[in-house]
Structure 1
Amino acid sequence: MAGAPNVLFIVFDDTGFGQFGCYGSPIETPNLDVLAAGGLLYSNMHTTALCSPSRSCIITGRNHHANGMAAITELATGYPGYNGQIPFENGFLSEMLLQHGYNTYMVGKWHLMPSEQESAAGPYDRWPLGRGFERFYGFLGGDTSQWYPDLVYDNHQVEPPATPQEGYHLTEDLVERAMSFIADAKQVAPDKPFFLNLCPGATHAPHHVPKEWANRYRGRFDDGWDAYRKQTFARQKQLGVVPADARLSPRDPDVPTWESLSPEARRLAARMMEVYAGFLSHTDHHIGRLVDFLKETGEFDNTLIMVVSDNGASAEGGATGTTNEVQFFNNAPETLEESITQIDELGGPTTFNHYPWGWTWAGNTPFRRWKRETYRGGVSDPFLVHWPAGIKARGEIRDQFAHIIDMVPTVLDVLGIEAPTTIRGVTQSPLHGVSFAHTFDDAAAASRHRTQYYEMLGHRAIDHDGWRAVCPWPGPSFAEAERPFGTPITMADLDDLDAHHWELYHVDEDIAETRNLAQEHRGKLIEMIALWYVEAGKYNVMPIDGSVLQRIMTERPQITENRTSYTFRSGT
């Protein structure tokens, strides 16, 4: 394939629609902004609302339940759409491009296989090297310390090459490794294209960053999340990221007003956001280093770059934020007094910090809600495309509806490659996404992706031709829910939900879901609910499962029998 472009996916983690600078945020992301100015910014890209499910869509072009990824792999159960094992008939883009002479590299977060398969005992067929990637450097789970990461190199665990005291940070290490993989091959075969899937841990918790990066934002968030949201929304209108007549979604019932917080609570929350902003800017800086490397090697102009986040901003810091995210997952939040004692350590090696819900809500401006939920705050994310050699348009916005399952079909489209019918002897399933390459140089082109379902932990939605129906579970907010998050759904619940709790929005005219039209357009709502069930039947969504704790506690097949003793050998 003479002249074939390189392909670079950069997948952010837990980064909201209103957090890149080019999407109106006050957080500085100059290198991403340059990619937007030299390429295309999409304002209507959608994800699944959670990391493993979204990442499976990005790499296969198929919907997450069809990938067995209804939720993160740690919540796998025995149902086909929920078992956490991406079937081999759903080939990865890496496997597809490997057949066409590409070098393939996976760098950063994987989180695409059952947890019990992550040890040195394997099996290795669902590790990156088993799914079409020739080289891997990163971590296998959902998150890791940026200072002391759990690193895997190809198929074996390794120690970080340096310590935090020596200046080590995971993001820098990942970018260094990505550049070395590319350089290794290009110096031998300079015309051989590469596919790099770069997935930094940013900006998932822990929000770890050198203190000087956080200190750049000292005092910048003292006005609070209400002010952030108002100012970001105004900038989004100025930039054209949202329509001039758009309405900002209303205050979230789970988020207190900034003024209602005590001075100490405001001081802690502001510092947590300073650390987060520093983390994002630090990541942008190292992406800039990768871009500079591509320019120096003459590869930049003919590299198709797609930048996306896997879901909206995360609410896993709880209402008040936390210095240790594990406290949130164990429903054991620390007190404000305890948190304040560590305020100067936030972002450092002794914390595993995450900001409070207020910043989550603000980070998804102008949308409502957040990660794990299928309102637009959970599923509408930043998306940039940059390819100077293949796209004439520069600095333009595209508002066509798209979903991350469209990324693989788009890459194949621009490469002139048909999706393979077999990979390593396994007959392949059809792709579920559609190409949006026709929008690259035609801002007025209609979207070819007309219908998209969503289901995440019982929270459901569907988009169809500019309309959007949402059925929240266990309620529109935690404050309004009659049951706690993670409550299992019974058949009686399901009947009640379908009869009374679906909401309807005309998102072509109301992007932020501010006017529920379920009563005025009952016929349209019934049509949308029926369409959701049609799509659910196609893609292994049933049975709908709203449980969380029960799924975590479910016993899963293990590599070995339970043991009470282990023998550790040197060098292992």
Structure 2
Amino acid sequence: MRAPFFRSALAATVGIAASLSVSCALAASSDPTKPNILVVVADDMGYSDLGSFGGEIETPNLDSLAASGVQLTNFQAMPACSPTRAALLTGADPHQVGLGNMAEETAPNQEGKKGYEGYLNDRAVTIASLLRDSGYDTYLAGKWHLGSTEQTTPNQRGFEHSFSMLSGGASHFPDMKPAYAPTPEARAPYAEDGKILKTLPAQFTYSSQYYADRMIDYIAADKDSGRPFFGMMAFTAPHWPLQAPDEAVAKYRGRYDAGYDALLEARLSKQKALGLVPAGAEPAARSPKGRPWNSLTDEERKREARAMEIYAAMVDQMDVNTGRVFDYLRKNGLYDNTVVIFISDNGAEGHDLDDTWPGDKFPKIRKVIDETNDFSFERMGKPGSYTFLGPNWARVSSPTFSLFKGFPTEGGTRTAGIIRIPGIESHGKKLDKLVSVKDFAPTLLELAGVKRPGVQYQGREVAPMTGTSIIPLLKGQNVAERTEAGELFGKRFVRKGDWKLVHMPKPWGNGEWQLFNLHTDLAEAHDLSAKEPARVAELKKTWDQYAQQNQVVLPDQVSGY
């Protein structure tokens, strides 16, 4: 049984300083130096949506995790789903492992190019594979989005058991309606242990509920094996289409009638009080499609408020079902022996339907969406409905960060992150140093005592991990200033310390490189490129090196993203 291990053994394994509070417990695991690992991923959730990050949505289970662990207040994901998941599982840059672009957005000049396969390519080795090889049981429940065929499912990438939704989005109810498809008869691609499903199990009533059910089932089946587990629970909430059980939506009825501008002020004030952002942080600018609440008609306000009620219910239910897994671990003596990580894969979704599926670029998909979904107010949030959060509430989800999912600005990449490691008594510590999603793979391997593979794995060449273990940061050690760069949808950035260089087309940027100092300007509102030409030149050189090393192909065609 995977019962609590000697925390002193963990301290020896990862070199945790003696000054950290470490307690001992009875060891019953077959290998007491290997903790269980649970990674929980939200889909399109903004930085401020959890209560512990400034929100009003009821998230007691994740807030409790934050109170007992470390809040990663400068955690950086990739701008969108697949690249984040690729980096999370491999510790490598997405361009190296097949997700230089999302499969749905691959541009004509990227097709057939190395690093743009749209699934984890042969150069990818996942932590699931590495942990499995070292004796871990490995499970995935939820969204995959790293390959849609039986040859690219989770079981081909180290997960011994998996129930996965393979594409980017789908109905959250058991009707198997895809979020996007070129034909009306298409069904959302789900797979179990590598086999594509024609129907969903009878127990599937709502996405978050069933993913938690399966994770509990997987852990329960092996809990007396003496082996540790690595489980990834990847919710599809709160990704569009916004849908939630009626009783969950009813809980939030009327809470958002005052509108998004008032809520933004309330969340930003709470974030300042919690020490999540500086006292002088300013609200982010509205995005190009953003509108003041007082400019909306009564009908527009009604629909906007309902969309946020549904979104809140989705985050609420994600927390409820995460709590069910935590409760199972506690009742079976496993929780104290489990490393828990929680992240969102990118910022909130601020695009609308026309941005996401423009009819001129995706005529078949858009026709199916328009003709097979119910867009009425009365059906919002129910099976067969199709609702986006939109740019106004997405701004609320990251009150002082610019833009949202799909962008390399802070609103697209800085998301809620929490880590709890047995043996480190952190009690709500906030870590404001930059942590990349690429860092979790090497961190977890270090905690499990597993060697990084380098550039070879089972006789094939693999992409090296470029993430860095965050154990030194968690120990309070000084680390070297980091330089990071990235690109998605042709939008790109370079970051060195607090300095950030961003290139985005109009109307989101100006079509040129813009420079921001995040220490004084989290909202990326004050372009300093004209005042700092030498710094711009230095960071542009870094971008050129990154693009060459990762064989970046800037797309010759971009949709609304």
| Distance change (3 Å), C-alpha of 1:333 and 1:522 | farther
- Counterpart-to-counterpart distance in 2, 1:263 and 1:428: 56
Find 2:529's aligned residue among 494, 518, 535. 518
* 1:190-339 matched pairs, under 5 angstroms: 191-318=226-353, 330=366, 339=375
Q: Quote the residue 2:19 is aligned against.
A: none
Matching of residue 45 in structure 1 with residue 45 in structure 2: no
Matched letter for residue 143 of structure 1: G
Asked whether 1:454 is paired with 2:486, we answer yes
- The residue identity in structure 2 corresponding to 1:104 is T
**Offset at 1:319?**
8.1
CA change 1:61–1:448 in 2 (3 A) is farther
Distance 1:27 1:289 in 2: 18
Secondary structure of the equivalent of 1:59? helix
Corresponding residue for residue 433 of structure 1: 467
Please give the alpha-carbon distance, in whole angstroms, between the structure 2 residues aligned to 1:141 and 1:10.
Answer: 18
**What TM-score results when the alignment is normalised by the length of structure 1?**
0.84
Report the more deviating stretch, 204-213 or 74-83.
74-83
Runs of 4+ in 1 over 4 A off after TM superposition: 318-322, 326-329, 331-334
CA gap of 1:171–1:449, structure 2 versus 1, over 3 A, is: farther
Task: Determine the C-alpha separation between the residues in 1 that align with 2:365 and 2:499.
Answer: 34
What displacement does 1:110 show? 0.8
1:107 and 2:141 aligned = yes
Residues 174-185 of structure 1: matches in 2 within 5 Å?
174-185=211-222
Alpha-carbon distance in structure 1 between the residues aligned to 2:215 and 2:545: 42
Equivalent positions of 1:488-507 (< 5 A) are 497=511, 501-507=512-518
CA distance in structure 1 between the partners assigned to 2:549 and 2:64 by the alignment? 40
Deviations 1:76-125 (A, max 9, x none): 42221322242333210001111110001111111102x4xx2xxx4x2x
How much does 1:329 deviate?
Answer: 7.0
C-alpha distance in 1 between matches for 2:420 and 2:556: 38
Deviation at 1:344, TM superposition (A): 2.4
CA contact (8 A) 2:354 2:560 kept: no
Give 1:317 shift. Answer: 2.9
Aligned residue for 1:469?
501
Distance 1:476 1:440, change over 3 A: same
Report how far residue 547 of structure 1 moved.
1.6
Aligned residues: 507
- 1:70 corresponds in structure 2 to 100
AA at the equivalent of 2:451: E
Matched, 1:153 2:206: no
Q: Which secondary structure state, in structure 1, belongs to the residue aligned with residue 539 of structure 2?
A: helix
Distance of aligned partners of 1:238 and 1:287 in 2 relative to their CA distance in 1, 3 Å threshold: same
Q: Deviations over 1:475-507 (max 9, x none)?
A: 326xxx7xxxxxxxxxxxxxxx5xxx1110111
- The answer to whether the aligner puts 1:381 opposite 2:381 as a matched pair is no
The answer to whether the aligner puts 1:362 opposite 2:388 as a matched pair is no
Which residue, out of 150, 169, 172, partners 1:143?
Answer: 169
Q: 2:542 aligns to what SS in structure 1?
A: helix
1:397 aligns to 2:436 (yes or no):
no
1:81 corresponding residue in structure 2: 115
CA distance in 2, matches of 1:67, 1:384: 25
1:56 alignment counterpart: 86
Q: Secondary structure at the match of 1:133?
A: coil
User: Structure 1: any 5+ residue segments left out of the alignment?
Assistant: 482-496, 552-572
Match of 2:550 in 1: 539
Cα shift readout 1:299-345 (whole Å, capped 9, x = no counterpart): 111111111111111123348999xxx999739998xxx94xx2221
Deviation at 1:549, TM superposition (A): 5.0
Residue 439 of structure 2 corresponds to: 406
SS for the counterpart of 1:345 is coil
Q: How far apart, CA to CA, are the structure 2 residues paired with 1:284 and 1:383?
A: 14
CA distance in 2, matches of 1:185, 1:448: 41
Per-residue deviation at 1:49? 0.5
Once residues 129 and 197 of structure 1 are traced to their aligned partners in structure 2, the CA distance between those partners, rounded to angstroms, is: 13
Query: Residues 16 and 447 from structure 1, CA distance in 2 versus in 1: closer, same or farther, beyond 3 angstroms?
Result: farther
Deviations 1:215-251 (A, max 9, x none): 1111111111111111111100111111223222233
- 1:424 deviates by 2.9
Q: 1:350 maps to what in 2? A: 384
CA RMSD of aligned residues (A): 2.6
Q: Provide closer, same or farther for how the CA distance between residues 300 and 314 of structure 1 changes in structure 2, counting only shifts above 3 A.
A: same
1:353 CA displacement: 1.9
Give the direction of change, closer, same or farther, for the CA distance of 1:475–1:328 in structure 2 (3 Å limit). Answer: farther
TM-score by length of 2: 0.85
Q: Is the 8 A contact 1:59 1:408 kept in 2?
A: yes
In the alignment, the residues of structure 2 paired with residue 509 and residue 331 of structure 1 have an alpha-carbon distance, to the nearest angstrom, of 46
Q: Deviations over 1:378-413 (max 9, x none)?
A: 1111101012x2212111111001110111011122
Cα distance in 1 for partners of 2:327, 2:368 equals 45
Task: Report SS of the residue matched to 1:175.
Answer: helix
Range with bigger deviation, 409-418 or 532-541? 409-418
Q: More deviation in 84-93 or 251-260?
A: 84-93
In the alignment, is the contact (CA less than 8 A) between 2:349 and 2:390 conserved in 1? no
Is this contact kept in 1: 2:343–2:416, CA < 8 A? yes
Shift in alpha-carbon separation, 1:447–1:333, aligned structure 2, 3 A:
farther
Deviations 1:169-216 (A, max 9, x none): 1211111111111111113x1x31000011111111122211111111
Give the Cα–Cα distance (whole angstroms) in 1 for the partners of residues 74 and 555 of structure 2. Answer: 28
**For 2:156, which of 114, 118, 130 is the aligned residue?**
130
Contact 1:147 1:163 in 2 (8 A): no
| Worse-matched range after superposition: 20-29 or 76-85 | 76-85
Cα distance change of structure 1 residues 328 and 517 upon mapping to structure 2, 3 Å threshold: farther
- Is the contact between residue 355 and residue 560 of structure 2 (CA under 8 Å) also seen in structure 1? no
Distance 2:480 2:202 in 1: 48
Shift of 1:362: 1.5
Equivalent-residue separation in structure 2 for 1:511 and 1:454 (angstroms)? 18
AA aligned to 2:299 is E
Percent identity at matched positions? 30
Q: Secondary structure at the match of 1:25?
A: coil
Letter in 1 for 2:279: A
- Give the secondary-structure state (helix, strand or coil) at the position aligned to 2:93: coil
Task: Summarize the Cα distance change of 1:215–1:370 in structure 2 as closer, same or farther, 3 Å threshold.
Answer: same
How far does residue 27 in structure 1 lie from its aligned partner after superposition?
A: 1.4
Q: Aligned-pair distance for 1:473?
A: 2.1
Contact persistence 2:142–2:235 (CA under 8 A) = yes
Q: Distance in 2 between matches of 1:408 and 1:57?
A: 8
| Residues 447 and 403 (structure 1), Cα distance of their counterparts in 2 relative to 1, 3 Å cut | farther
